[in-house]
Chain A
Amino acid sequence: MKKTGPICIVDDDDGHAYLIELNLRQSGVTNELLRFASGQEFLDYLEEDPSGGDAPVMVLLDLNMPGMGGLAVLQVVKDSRIRRTYPIVVLSTSADTDEINACYRAGCNLFLTKPVQYAEFTDLVQRLGALLKVAHFPSGAATTGLAAAG
């Protein structure tokens, strides 16, 4: 079944975004990958097109961003009645306990630390891609858009 929902990557670091996209593709994810360089950009996108297109099947959210940080974005999304079902995976460079707790309190669905070692990084993102292929997601606003690509 062809899944149409995009995967949103919210990360100010172009390199990280690139590497994530690269590894997701390599893991076989075929969904549209939308990249946002700031939290505000992502929220603007949600505002402009709340229901026109398919809802994101997953949001990969970086925490440490200039301007609007990841936690703020997380709170806005999870406070919204319509969008709180969007699965949000926080990807952070740190593994600070306080940060982890704050994110889960705000409603994040998964917290992952970006490994510095590229092999681990690749492994993590590809595992995430593999998870996406077998996971179930909320219906309705969030139309799952995963393509099982082998």
Chain B
Amino acid sequence: MRTIWPPALRLRIAGKVIALTAALAAAVATLFAVTHHLRVQELLEQRNNEKLIGNTKMLTVAIQAEFNRLSEDVLLLSKAPGVTFLLTEVNHPEHYAAEQDYSGVAAGRVRTIVTILADTRNYLRLSIYSTDEFEGEIFRTELSGESYVTYEEADLPSGIPQEIAEIKNQLAPGKISYSYVDSKEIAGGSPAVSQSAFRAVTPAIDADGHDAGLIVIEKAYKPTLDAAVDYMQPDWDSVIFDAAGNMHTYPVGSIAGEGGARGQVYATIRELVSDGPGSDSLHNVTVDGRDYAVKFVEGELRDSATPQVFRVATIADHEVLYADLAATNRNNILLTVLLVLVASLFGLVLGRRFVRPLQAMNETILEQGTDGDLSALPVHRADEIGDFARSYCTIARELNGALEDLGQGNVDLQETNAKLVHANKEVRDLAAIISHDLRAPLINILGFSDELTRLHGELSGYLATMNVDLDESEIADLLQKRLPTALKFIADSSSRMESKLDTILHLSRRGRDEMKPVPIDLGKLFRTVIESHVTEHNPADVSIELDSAPPVIIDEEAASIIANNLVSNAVKYRDGDRPLSIRIRAVTDEFGLTLCVEDNGRGINVADQDLIFGLFRRFGRQDTSGEGIGLSFCKALVSRLNGKIWCNSIAGEGSSFFVFFPIELLGRETVAA
């Protein structure tokens, strides 16, 4: 597969190629659409034009051409050996005279041409042309002394036969031959009159009785379209007479060598005419090699002097139109299909070349993760996929390394954690040992020392009953002084030991107890605490300045223990020489609240100030009761609250104990206070 595509073919190139192909396809399709549209417009316009001129052209061209060809052919024929005369065709006389050049005709041969024309004005012209010398001049031989004998239209219908007869008589009686090209009823004056034309041919004889050639008389009335068509119907033969007076027929169709093409034109024209103006009937016709569908729109064939203005609608050349459209469509479709194929091919290539490897890569990565066998990844490809595969392998390697380190770190952490758990368990075990294993013997010590005391009593009783003089004997000393003293020491020591064990247990349990934070009003708390400690026996001047202090959200019991310890210490360690004064206040700042309990008591040596928070530590004169656990307890509680407790003291002057509660423990609504 790799050999098909150069290694340099990279993903972005493939992407660009596909995008380019698609854009090209779109552009070509658009171009085709526009071309197609323009072509249609063009064809429509052409059709419209041909509506106006096409058929006019068709008819005039066809008709004129027919005449022209005929004339030319006749001229050619007339030049041929043995051809003496030619005939003329019905046309406008002026036109005939001006354009029909007989100079090429063999001189002296044409004597007279008689043309009887009926033009649209419906009068008959009879012209007899003599070509005596025929040196570029056409001589007119007057008939009845005038060049033109003009008959009014009204005279025509009935006059024609007579005129003909006169001509016949005058010219060459008995020798004239004539034929009717077509003879239809001549309806006098009616524009709908059908053509009527005939041709009379007679040898012309001049006044001296010499042969003057032929006289051709053609006659047509009101050359309506129908007449014109009939006049040129394809089976109508041109008639050519030679010098011997023999008539040669010459098929029109064969003159032009076009078979029945013109015949078709004429037939069509005839059909059009029979349809009449405004008809929707379509007729197929071929003019100049192009096919048209035509219909008669308007107009009529007028006299030949004026342009024959009539229009025949052309429904364009359907075939051409259709062929053009089909060709455009075909090209369009072909090229579109081609482009789609190209795009598909590229898509396929993209799939095989890029998407499949990506999918395979994805599966490999999903299955193998980062530490599996990644050798299946296409790391050797010289494209983006290769880049990606290589990057992934690099990342996977680094990740695995990092994971290993992390794993090692995790193992270390687990070990540490296990040690911590173990240590924690040991602490708890210690509490259990204290509660069980140290208390159990204590129970015995205390119980049996009590029992001993009881037994001592009983023994004393027995001795009394035995009348032993206890006062005099050593037994008395033993029983009454030494034994009770020993027992008392045992009991006292055991009791103290029990008390301390209880304290340790208590502290240990407090450390595990769940805290239930509630808002504590410090002022209220301290007033309650002061009430229970400052009594008649322990008078003090107390100042509580906590009105603006915000509530502290901590465990109620913890708060109570802290307050009680601080106040009781102040009361307990008063200076006997002066009245006790206690001042309790608080300062709030952005970090939290600092509580201060200040007294004028005996104070603490600087060296001891850090040690007073230790367990079972008592300093100074031991003249008060206490176990040395209060401040230790306070410190444990404050530490659990993330707070801080410390003391400033001057021995002999007084102490200030500070407790700091961080801002998180303060009630929201009074922080600003």
Contacts and interface: CB of A to CB of B under 8 A. Distances in A.
Interface stretch (B221-229, B438-446, B524-532): B438-446
Contact of B447 (A15, A63, A93, A96): A15
Interface string B424-443: 00000001100111011011
Contacts of B444: 13, 15-16, 19
A118 B440 contact: no
A117 interface: yes
A94 interface: yes
A114 B505 CA distance: 15
A25 to B, nearest CB: 13
A119 B498 CA distance: 14
B447 A121 contact: yes
B441 to A, nearest CB: 8
B442 A116 contact: yes
Given A15-B444, A93-B439, A118 B450 contact: yes
B495 A96 contact: no
A64 interface: yes
A37 B255 CA distance: 153
A116 B498 contact: yes
B448 A15 contact: yes
A123 to B, nearest CB: 12
Contact of A19 (B436, B443, B509): B443
Contact of B435 (A15, A96, A115, A118): A96
B432 A16 contact: no
B448 A94 contact: no
Interface string A93-113: 111110000000000000000
A98 B378 CA distance: 62
Nearest to A20: B447
Contacts of B437: 64
- Overall SS of chain B's interface: helix
A109 to B, nearest CB: 21
A118 B449 CA distance: 9
Contacts of A22: 451
A96 B435 CA distance: 8
B446 A94 contact: no
Given A15-B448, A64-B437, A119-B450, A96 B443 contact: no
A94 B443 contact: no
Contact of B436 (A94, A115, A118): A94
Contacts of B498: 116-117
Interface string A110-134: 0000111111011000000000000
Interface string A59-82: 000011000000000000000000
A97 B495 CA distance: 23
A92 B431 CA distance: 14
Contacts of B447: 15-16, 19, 118, 121
Nearest to A16: B443
B38 to A, nearest CB: 97
Interface in A17-57: 19, 22
Nearest to A13: B440
B428 to A, nearest CB: 9
A94 B449 CA distance: 21
Contacts of A19: 443-444, 447-448, 451
Interface residues of A, number: 21
Given A94-B432, A94-B435, A117-B495, A16 B440 contact: yes
B446 A116 contact: yes
Contact of A64 (B440, B446, B450, B495): B440
Interface in B410-469: 431-432, 435-437, 439-440, 442-444, 446-451
Contact of B439 (A15, A116, A119): A116
Nearest to A94: B435
A125 to B, nearest CB: 10
A122 B449 CA distance: 13
A35 to B, nearest CB: 15
Given A16-B440, A64-B440, A93-B440, A118 B446 contact: yes
A116 B448 CA distance: 11
Contacts of A118: 443, 446-447, 449-451
A94 B431 CA distance: 10
A93 B446 CA distance: 14
B443 A15 contact: yes
A116 to B, nearest CB: 4
B444 to A, nearest CB: 4
Interface string B92-132: 00000000000000000000000000000000000000000
A96 B432 contact: yes
Contacts of A114: 439-440, 443
Contacts of A63: 436
B432 A116 contact: no
Contacts of A121: 443, 446-447
Specify which of A16, A63, A64, A116 lies most central, judged by the most chain B CB atoms within 10 Å of its CB.
A116
Q: Which of B439, B442, B448 has the most CB of A within 10 A?
A: B439
Nearest to B450: A118
Contacts of A122: 450
B214 to A, nearest CB: 152
B583 to A, nearest CB: 40
Contacts of A116: 439, 442-443, 446, 494, 498
Contact of A93 (B431, B435, B449, B495): B435
A21 B346 CA distance: 101
Contacts of A117: 446, 495, 498
Contacts of B446: 116-118, 121
A87 to B, nearest CB: 23
A93 B443 contact: yes
Nearest to A119: B450
B450 A94 contact: no
Nearest to A19: B447
A16 B449 CA distance: 13
A31 B197 CA distance: 168
A144 B450 CA distance: 32
Nearest to B499: A116
Interface in B517-570: none
Contacts of A64: 436-437, 440
Nearest to B501: A116
A60 B333 CA distance: 104
Contacts of B450: 118-119, 122
Contacts of A13: 440, 443-444
A112 B436 CA distance: 14
Closest 4 pairs (CB-CB, A-B): A94-B435, A15-B444, A118-B450, A64-B436
26 contacts: A15-B443, A15-B444, A15-B448, A16-B440, A16-B443, A16-B444, A16-B447, A19-B448, A63-B436, A93-B435, A93-B443, A94-B432, A94-B439, A94-B505, A96-B431, A97-B509, A114-B443, A116-B443, A117-B446, A117-B498, A118-B443, A118-B450, A118-B451, A119-B450, A121-B447, A122-B450
Given A16-B443, A19-B444, 7 more contacts: A13-B440, A95-B435, A96-B431, A117-B446, A117-B495, A118-B451, A119-B450
